[in-house]
Amino acid sequence: MPKIKIRENEPFEVSLRRFKRTCEKAGILSELKKREFYEKPTVKKKKEKIAAIKRHIKKKMLTNIIKKKFY
């Protein structure tokens, strides 16, 4: 759980903004959205497989672009 110390003479809005930023860096909101509803293991595997394919395609495309720049 992210913690912040409120500084002396610091407005509430500023401290709230700092707290939100630390929560975002810790990944709390994304984890909360991910765990909001139960996801079957087969659905998880399917999403992971699709993500892996997308990463592979992206990596392949980037290497092709880099090769074209050298010629």
What's the pLDDT score for residue 60? 92
How do the pLDDT tens digits run along the chain, 71 residues long?
889 999 999 999 999 999 999 999 999 999 999 899 999 999 999 999 999 999 999 999 988 887 776 66
What's the pLDDT score for residue 2? 87
Tell how many helices (H) and how many strands (E) occur in the chain. 3, 0
Q: What CA–CA distance (Å, rounded) separates 34 from 43?
A: 13
Of 1, 67, 56, nearest in space to 32 by CA:
1
What does the chain come to in residues? 71
33's tokens: 């959205």
What's the pLDDT score for residue 15? 95
What's the pLDDT score for residue 71? 60
